[in-house]
Each structure stands twice: as C-alpha cells, then as structure tokens.
Amino acid sequence: MRSNLKVNIDTGGLKRGARLVVKIGTAVITNNKNAVCDKVINSLASQISTLQKEGFKVIIVSSGAIAAGVHRMGWQQKPKKISHLQAAAAVGQVSLVETYEKEFKKNGLTTAQVLITGEDFSSRKRYLNSRATFETLLNENILVIVNENDTVSTDEIKVGDNDTLAASIANAIQADLFVILTDQKGLFTENPTSSSHAELIQSVHVDDEMLNRVAFRSHSEFGTGGMETKIKAARIVARLGIDTIIASGFEADILLKIKSRNFVGTTILSGKKSKAISARKQWMLNHIKAKGRLYLDAGAIAALVQYDKSLLPVGIVKIDGRFDRGDLVVCMTETGVEVARGLINYSSFEAEKISGLLSEQIEKVLGYIEEPEIIHKDNLILISSSFEDSKTTGANSSKAEQ
C-alpha cells in the first residue's frame, strides 16, 4: 500500500497571477466549535492578503452559516427540520459576513459576498451573469466570498454540497488550483478518527481506485459531506485539468505553503493540462443537475470518444428520466459510468420511441424529424479524462467518475 501513497507531482510553486478557489469547511471556520472563530479567519485573511499582493487571484467558498446561526440563536444543537436550518442560515450568514469583513479589512482587503444556488448553474443566462460578476470582481482585486444560499436552497442543506459548489466555481473561472481546507491533514488510507493505522496519502491520480475506498463520511455535527463530497469535487474540477489539494485549515500559513508546494496534505492530480473550451460547454460541465440519462452501447461510446461524432438514436440502449428538447442529459455506459453530457434534440417521450433506430427511421416513427442526431457533437462534451486518454478501454473503466 505504501507505494501507492504518493505519485510524482510538479514541485514548482504557483506562478504569479494564478487563480485559486479555496473552500473552507465549517470545522475550520468554527475552530471545531459552534461559533465563527475570529482568530482562524484573521489568519486566513493575512495569508490571502500576502497572496493578493503577490498577484494571485483568490475566491473563497465558505461554509459555516448554519453553525454560526445555531450559536447566535442559542440553540444547543443543530436542528433537523429544514425550516429551522434555513432560519439558522439566515441569522448565521450575517454573523459570518461581519466577521469576514472585519478581519479582512484589518489586512487591507476589500470583500464582496456572492450567494449562489443550484439554479445559478442550471440557467445558462444566470450562469453567464454569475461568471461575469466573478471576473469583474477578480479584475478589481476584490476578495470574493461565496456561500450557498442556504435560506432558499433546501437541496444544499440536505446533502451539504458546498464542496461541489466550490468545484463548479473553480471550473467557471478556470482556476489554476482548487484548495479544500478541512480539519484533517488530507486523505488517509483509513479513517484517522478511528484507526491508528491510517496513513496520509500525499498525492493520488483522480482516476485511482484508491479514492473510492477512502471516501469517509463527515464526523462533524455541522459538516455534512466529509471526504466523499471532497473527492466528488476533485473529480469535477479534474474535467478541466485542475488539480485539487486537501489540507488542514489549522496548519500555520497553509495557503502560503501550498503556494510554494511545501505543505502537508493530499494532492489529487487531474492527469491532464487544462484546455480551452467554449463558454457553452463550460456551462454544460458545471450544470449541477441533469434532467435524464441515456445508456449507450459500446459502438455509440466509441463514436463519441474515439471519433468525435454526434450521438445517434441507434446507439441508445435505455433512457431514464423525463426531459424536454434542449435539456441537459448525461450519457452513460451500460454499467452506469458517465461518459459525456449534452443538450438533447428530443424529449424523453420521443427519445424512447426512436432509441435503437437508424436516423432515417425517425420520421417514419414520429411523423416528423427534428434532427438526425439525438445530441449533436457541438452540444456534447466528454466528461472523464480516462475516456479521452484510454479511448475504448477507458469507456468501460470503473475508475471514471460515478
């Protein structure tokens, strides 16, 4: 096992002008207690101030609003009822932002708050507007602090997906590095809270099967994701060639150490260089919730992966979900591995009727034809790096993102 705990990484530091998205977990923000910790935020502010003076661009995605609200409202424990969680988030958000503003102002930083929901990624217009706002703030050297809008976003409260939110923002601004600060030093071979044999994984490839074995759930009262959602987030940013670092937010000067690549933590390597893609396809990658799934046969997968072809109805084996023309759907192998995403030309009702048929049979079955393709190649984007690198072998690999 030891030989798998580290793979070769680039030890050179980040270059001036690099963009970092830093996700800070609730345990770090509260110093493993119930209230926002001024000292922790001041330490992070000092480090980020140094990074900005050196030309780096930083966006923070912060958890902690619910924990701060529970403390301010005098509750003894985190509630379970959604309306109570939303109330705590509304109260705690004020406390959280006040602390950020106060501590960052001490370090000469101007801050901006952006509240995001899943709909800001589902709607292309709202996605583009959000991305334009981020770009403007970064260009003006404003420190952006982002949080899920817990007060109205019930899905986020239920599943605790600030990790995924941060990853989507990293993709949207095409970050150079994605950093997740938690109360652990990184990923371990076993759960470090319960096993004395747990060893730190210094670096690992995003497609390594080891990641499926070390996805431990959160042990914190207010943390709702644990390492499982952090690994999922790392897979999301890897689609654009962005590496992820998971490290302890309690380690002194951790962000400065990460900048110089001299830190204790886990690096999850994307395995490919970032490549420019259109704004439309960036949105498709960041679209949090697809409307349906298409299960494809081996021939269809080969056409998409090896030959950059459009998806034809003949290659569809099964359809799940209900969707309309123009909705985003996920293309899967027959064993359930995600291969690609795309904007579909037919509704689920129509697609079920023509799946498995040749394109020239569409008009005969439906009485009309919208397009000969189910998804045109211009509206389709491959997901996993392993599919692109290993072609048809990768198409059936269990290492691809689930």
Tell me: pLDDT of 48 over 90.
Answer: yes
Instruction: Give domain status of residue 390, yes or no.
Output: no
Residue range of the domain that includes 232: 19-271
Instruction: Give domain status of residue 5, yes or no.
Output: no
- Positions of E strands within 67-156: 111-116, 143-148
Contacts of 98 (CB under 8 A, 6+ apart): none
Q: Mark which of 254, 271, 288 sits at the end of a domain.
A: 271
Ordered strands of the 316-321 beta sheet: 316-321, 292-296, 328-332, 338-343, 380-382
| Mean pLDDT, residues 369-382 | 92
Please state, as a whole number, how many other Cβ atoms lie within 10 Å of the Cβ of residue 279: 12
Chain length of the chain: 402
Instruction: Give domain status of residue 396, yes or no.
Output: no
pTM of the shown model: 0.79
Q: Are residues 61 and 106 in the same domain?
A: yes
Q: Which has more pLDDT, 9 or 396?
A: 9
pLDDT at 70: 87
Please give the backbone phi and psi of residue 381, each rounded to the nearest 5 degrees, phi first. Answer: -135, 135
Q: Are residues 172 and 305 in the same domain?
A: no
| Mean pLDDT, residues 286-296 | 85
pLDDT in tens, 302-329: 999 999 999 999 999 999 999 999 899 9
Alpha carbons 116 and 123: distance in angstroms, whole number? 12
pLDDT at 397: 28
Partner residues linked to 380 by β-bridges: 342
Q: Are residues 263 and 296 in the same domain?
A: no
Strands 19-24 and 57-62: parallel
pLDDT at 13: 66
Q: Which of 2-16, 21-35, 355-369, 386-400 has the lowest mean pLDDT?
A: 386-400
pLDDT at 280: 77
Tell me: pLDDT of 153 over 80.
Answer: no
Among 274, 259, 245, smallest CA distance to 55 is for 259
Percent of the chain with pLDDT over 70: 85
Please state, as a whole number, how many other Cβ atoms lie within 10 Å of the Cβ of residue 35: 17
Tell me: pLDDT of 364 over 70.
Answer: yes
Among 33, 105, 104, 41, smallest CA distance to 70 is for 33
Task: Check which CATH number belongs to the domain holding 296 and give it.
Answer: 2.30.130.10
pLDDT in tens, 234-260: 988 888 889 999 999 999 999 999 998
Helices (H), 116-177: 119-122, 124-139, 154-159, 162-172
Q: Hey, what amino acid is at 8?
A: N
Please state, rounded to an integer, the average pLDDT across all residues of the chain: 83
Percent of the chain with pLDDT over 90: 48
